[in-house]
């Protein structure tokens, strides 16, 4: 597996941002002059100019950064097994939102980041080849990215996403009105705004999703997972209830015996790549597009 640390100046964020990109480079054949064909070259996907990978945007949790995901889980190995590219942007403690303090993280994630990744790296631009997944804070971010921009992602996975975006306008208003975040994590209110301004705002997922469904838009297939011991379980299950009530294509998995930690996230990152996401598990060659 190839692992790349990439740093560049984001035009939307206005500062240099880090990306960790995992490439499934193992078992990729390469033609070298003067060498005979080997068994590997007869069976492996062969490297060629213009080849692409399916891509999963894997969003890290609160208090983390882009490299910790790969240090605390085996995501790199799971990506290699499934021959898919992973991209993890560094968005520490941002909730992935276009914040009330003027930094536009959601625009960065859904407008700038795909252009950068598909321009600089071997990432397929087709919707069917792009997916979003996250854990903890990143689970909420993945949920919001899929709900707001279904045109970008064929499928998504929200793993333990219980702090940040939600389908429940009522729950968010209560959280913004309470003392917990104001006293312990003021950036929550600074990001999502005053409680009276939240309903119908750019952060309110319910009316956004409802409109997409009413307009008959193609939606991102979602899998939502939460450990049965997690403190945010009720909030996560309320999101699932609302989505099902709206008629949204969502699958819910109660992770029995798991808590809000990397034991849970490592297991279900693997399960998502092995089972839940519709991966092709191979290199995508340039002549495939011409044949379609």
Angle between helices 233-246 and 205-214 (to 10 degrees): 20
> What is residue 34's predicted lDDT score, i.e. its pLDDT?
67
Higher per-residue confidence, 163 vs 69: 69
Instruction: Please calculate the CA angle 188-189-195 and round it to the nearest 5 degrees.
Output: 130
Contact present, 264 and 38 (Cβ < 8 Å): no
Contact present, 222 and 158 (Cβ < 8 Å): yes
Q: Span 99-112, mean pLDDT?
A: 95
Q: What percent of the chain has pLDDT over 90?
A: 84
Residue 43 has pLDDT above 60, yes or no: no
> What is residue 44's predicted lDDT score, i.e. its pLDDT?
65
290 pLDDT band (50/70/90 cuts)?
A: very low
Residues with Cβ within 8 Å of residue 271, at least 6 apart in sequence: none
Q: Span 103-113, mean pLDDT?
A: 97
Spans of all domains in the chain: 2-277
User: What mean pLDDT is reported for the chain?
Assistant: 93
Give the sign of the dihedral formed by CA 64, CA 58, CA 186, CA 230.
negative
pLDDT in tens, 232-267: 999 999 999 999 999 999 999 999 999 999 999 999
> What is residue 292's predicted lDDT score, i.e. its pLDDT?
43
Phi first, then psi, for residue 58 (nearest 5°) are -105, 110
- Tell me the fold of 2-277: Rossmann fold (3.40.50)
C-alpha distances (whole Å) from 158 to each of 36, 144, 177, 214, 276 are 47, 9, 25, 23, 11
Q: What is this structure's pTM?
A: 0.94
Q: Which two tokens stand for residue 33?
A: 């002059």
> What is residue 15's predicted lDDT score, i.e. its pLDDT?
96
29 pLDDT band (50/70/90 cuts)?
A: confident
> What is residue 38's predicted lDDT score, i.e. its pLDDT?
58
């Amino acid at each position: 597996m190839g692992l790349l640390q990439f740093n560049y100046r984001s035009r939307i964020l206005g500062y240099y941002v880090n990306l960790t990109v995992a490439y499934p480079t193992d078992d990729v054949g390469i033609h070298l002059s003067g060498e005979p064909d080997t068994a590997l070259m007869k069976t492996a996907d062969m490297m060629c100019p213009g080849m692409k990978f399916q891509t999963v945007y894997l969003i890290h949790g609160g208090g983390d950064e882009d490299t910790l995901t790969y240090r605390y889980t085996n995501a790199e190995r799971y990506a290699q097994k499934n021959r898919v590219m992973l991209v993890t942007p560094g968005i520490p403690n941002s909730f992935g939102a276009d914040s009330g303090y003027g930094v536009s993280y959601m625009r960065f994630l859904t407008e700038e980041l795909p252009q950068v990744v598909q321009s600089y790296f071997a990432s397929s631009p087709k919707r069917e080849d792009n997916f979003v997944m996250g854990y903890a804070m990143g689970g909420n971010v993945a949920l919001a990215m899929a709900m707001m921009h279904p045109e970008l992602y064929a499928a998504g996975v929200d793993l333990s996403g219980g702090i940040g975006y939600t389908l429940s306008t009522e729950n968010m208003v209560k959280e913004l009105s309470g003392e917990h975040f104001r006293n312990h994590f003021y950036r929550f209110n600074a990001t999502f705004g005053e409680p009276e301004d939240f309903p119908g705002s750019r952060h309110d997922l319910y009316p956004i999703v409802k409109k997409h469904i009413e307009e008959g838009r193609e939606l991102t297939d979602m899998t939502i997972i939460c450990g049965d011991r997690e403190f945010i379980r009720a909030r996560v299950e309320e999101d699932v209830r609302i989505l099902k009530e709206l008629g949204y294509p969502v699958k819910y998995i109660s992770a029995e015996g798991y808590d809000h930690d990397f034991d849970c996230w490592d297991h279900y990152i693997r399960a998502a790549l092995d089972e839940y996401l519709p991966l092709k598990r191979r290199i995508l060659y340039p002549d495939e597009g011409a044949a379609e």
